[in-house]
Structure 1
Amino acid sequence: MGTVETMTMKEETAADLPIIDAHQHFWDLETNYYPWLCDPEPIPFRYGDYSALKRNYLPPDYRCDIGPNRVVGTVHMEAEWDRADPVAETRWLEGVAAAHGLPSALIGHAEPDRADIADVLAGHARSPLARGIRHKPAAAARPRDAIRGARGSMDDPRWRAGYALLEWHGFSYDLQTPWWHLDAAAELAADFPAIPVIVNHTGLPADRSAEALAGWRAALETVAARPNVALKISGLGLPGRPWTVAANGPVIRDAIAIFGTDRCLFASNYPVDRLAGPFTTIFDGFRAVVSDLPLAEQRKLFHDNALRIYRL
């Protein structure tokens, strides 16, 4: 584990397909500062109480959590490290990878509208593990409050000027935003077609009412029209409810129907999604939902798309 492997299709069954976990986190709270995990006052969190996450989580913990799943590589997603020095997280992760063989690649943090964005991107780019950045643009809390053009949003000219620098480094952009801002994401992707965009956590369909899911599907269809956009199927936990196929299967099937098997990828969001269910429960759920697909299509979702999109 820790290296990206390949197998011929005739050697594989659905149960032993290789996995590249396209979204996971490590943290060491004894040596590094993550405000949301280290500060005594909790932040508003979509899963509710997250106090169980306030302990170190490193590759040995992750390897314990994955159980029998054949994880052959991972992509580390920035974990809300101290925003004063986001490149320090990348430097720390290089040491983690050297010591433990994970992660296989990383996505750093950068605010496109910060004054030193060029320096931050250059700092990340010095790491051979770096593939891009994640940033959560300014967003409204509810669909009815969504407006276009807000400062710090994907429409903000200063934000876009910094975003444009990703192309120079060959970086992708991991976008975490509620689905009601995916119209702005579609325009962003159209205006910068050379920058791959990976929408995080399935577009955040937290409200599972019929009305909200209809809005979510329409938003996915809008952004899926841009060929440089992919969708990471992850982060589907619901507050106070266990991760089940009954709850999440319809969302997963709709997402794949809209984006297709060439542009969707499964990910654990561990250890955060430990609040929703065990790693094996989540990945067994993914397998169950797509069990009717040809094995080659399943392999894309679990492994091949992450291999290509994150250039492992």
Structure 2
Amino acid sequence: MSTPLRSPMRRRIVRAAAATLAMPTLAATQAFAKEETRAMKPTSNYLPIRSDWLASGTEAALEPQMPIIDAHHHFYDRPGWTYLLDEYLADAQSGHNITASVYMQALTHYRQSGPDELRPVGETAYVTRATASSQTGKPRVAQGIVGYADMRRGAAVREVLEAHLEAADGRFRGVRHLVTWDADPTLVNPLSAAPRGLLLDRNYRAGVAQLGPLGLSYDAWLFFPQLPELFDLAKAYPDTPVIINHCGGIVRIASYEDRRKEVFDSWSQSMRELAQLPNVYVKVGGLGMRINGFHFEKGDLPPSSEQLAQAWKPWMHTCIETFGAERCMFESNFPVDKGSYPFSNGWNAFKRLTAQASPGEREALFRGTVAKVYRLA
């Protein structure tokens, strides 16, 4: 059965329902991660990385001197899939001038003992140690770090946030607690499954309320039908920067595949509403995932930057035109997007998409906005 698209935002907010489904336990989530990534099959929630295929169509970097801060990438250390500092540096130093990056939580190197709520601090501690030597060179990998904390703990989550701050040697910048939910269960990665209406949950919001006083931001990964709920959350906490991940959770497969105009219209309406809130920002990128439905991975060769720019233009230009360059930032989303295109081609596509922008707009998109939002030197 198709999932009905929701009507415009002002008619669809807010039925504050309590979250009724249990989130996976930390142990169950870690066990699933090991099983899902053991073989990295194409049927998994992640597209497989094929090095030979990527090499067959990797482009030289356009405008190689342009300074770039990558607003969003991960480290993975899972059976069948390792992408840590060396792998990221191989991509980041492949031609574009990546000067720094923001690390995004990815269920990597959690503590294996101690209180459950503090185990995610192990990821922040690991990333801080692993990238310490890079802070005096180029790129400064993980110059800003975004970790995970269970916002459903309400005010008690402050202890976890303070532990992240202590572990990060001054580099901890915010939290991402995934809230992806859809009536179509085939869309949801069990690693990030969430109950319906989590953004409206009282306890969750009490947790989000702890971020602003500590100078921390909130990264939002969700599906586009959930954007009205994010609007309500962001409006409730105007002093907390809210960063929408991956252009706002575009879904064009499964129950949404044959309704692409509806998807675009609903998504763009929600993004226009969110743009009215000055504390909301957008990460422009992350459109190489399976759920986005561009199917770049099906080509005999990886897509060129021209092909990427053409496919992404309606979505990315809408983000930039709606929010303005000063509230948008480009992201690689590697290694997740690496299943769809080479690192160099992705950044070339961003450069093509902004070829007509002013120098000031480009500076904001490639470096200025992310430096401002995540308080990077």
Q: Decide: shared fold, TM above 0.5.
A: yes
Q: 1:164-243 counterparts in 2 under 5 A? A: 164-207=209-252, 209-237=260-288, 239=290, 240-242=295-297
CA contact (8 A) 1:206 1:238 kept: no
SS for the counterpart of 1:113 is: helix
Q: 1:254 aligns with which of 276, 300, 318?
A: 318
1:98 paired with 2:137, answer no
Partner residue in 2 for 1:132: 174
Partner residue in 2 for 1:77: 104
Report the TM-score when normalising by structure 2.
Answer: 0.68
Alpha-carbon shift at residue 80 of structure 1 (Å): 2.4
Quote the Cα distance in structure 2 between the aligned partners of 1:151 and 1:232.
24
Alpha-carbon shift at residue 275 of structure 1 (Å): 0.6
CA contact (8 A) 2:101 2:144 kept: yes
Q: Bigger CA drift: 187-196 or 107-116?
A: 107-116
Q: 1:82-161 counterparts in 2 under 5 A? A: 82=110, 84=116, 85-101=119-135, 102-114=141-153, 116-126=156-166, 127=168, 128-137=170-179, 139-141=181-183, 153-161=198-206
Amino acid at match of 2:248: G
Give runs of ≥4 in structure 1 deviating > 4 Å. none
Quote the Cα distance in structure 2 between the aligned partners of 1:141 and 1:97.
39
Alpha-carbon shift at residue 184 of structure 1 (Å): 1.2
Quote the Cα distance in structure 2 between the aligned partners of 1:91 and 1:247.
38
Structure 1 or 2, whichever has the larger Rg, is 2
CA contact (8 A) 1:105 1:129 kept: yes
SS for the counterpart of 2:326 is: coil
Quote the Cα distance in structure 2 between the aligned partners of 1:211 and 1:301.
28
1:63 paired with 2:89, answer yes
RMSD of aligned C-alpha atoms? 2.1
Quote the Cα distance in structure 1 between the aligned partners of 2:125 and 2:263.
40
Q: Bigger CA drift: 290-299 or 114-123?
A: 114-123
Report the TM-score when normalising by structure 1.
Answer: 0.81
- The verdict on how the C-alpha distance between 1:151 and 1:238 changes in structure 2, with shifts beyond 3 A counting, is closer
CA contact (8 A) 2:224 2:251 kept: no
SS for the counterpart of 2:281 is: strand
Q: 2:327 aligns with which of 254, 263, 275?
A: 263
- The verdict on how the C-alpha distance between 1:238 and 1:191 changes in structure 2, with shifts beyond 3 A counting, is closer
Alpha-carbon shift at residue 138 of structure 1 (Å): 5.5
Which ranges of structure 2 fall in alignment gaps of 5 or more residues? 1-61, 136-140, 185-194, 298-302
Which ranges of structure 1 fall in alignment gaps of 5 or more residues? 1-12, 30-36, 39-53, 143-149
Alpha-carbon shift at residue 193 of structure 1 (Å): 0.6
Quote the Cα distance in structure 1 between the aligned partners of 2:327 and 2:224.
17
Alpha-carbon shift at residue 189 of structure 1 (Å): 1.1
SS for the counterpart of 1:92 is: helix
1:311 paired with 2:375, answer yes
How high is the sequence identity, in percent, across the aligned residues? Answer: 32
CA contact (8 A) 2:182 2:196 kept: no
Amino acid at match of 2:159: D
SS for the counterpart of 1:230 is: strand
CA deviation profile, 1:184-233 (whole Å, cap 9, x unmatched): 11111111111000000101213271111111101111111111000001
Q: How many residues align?
A: 271
Alpha-carbon shift at residue 15 of structure 1 (Å): 4.7
CA contact (8 A) 1:125 1:169 kept: no
CA contact (8 A) 2:107 2:123 kept: no
Quote the Cα distance in structure 2 between the aligned partners of 1:251 and 1:198.
17
SS for the counterpart of 2:83 is: coil
Alpha-carbon shift at residue 14 of structure 1 (Å): 5.1
Quote the Cα distance in structure 1 between the aligned partners of 2:204 and 2:152.
4
- The verdict on how the C-alpha distance between 1:141 and 1:76 changes in structure 2, with shifts beyond 3 A counting, is farther
- The verdict on how the C-alpha distance between 1:157 and 1:138 changes in structure 2, with shifts beyond 3 A counting, is farther
- The verdict on how the C-alpha distance between 1:159 and 1:289 changes in structure 2, with shifts beyond 3 A counting, is same
- The verdict on how the C-alpha distance between 1:169 and 1:99 changes in structure 2, with shifts beyond 3 A counting, is same
Quote the Cα distance in structure 2 between the aligned partners of 1:100 and 1:56.
19
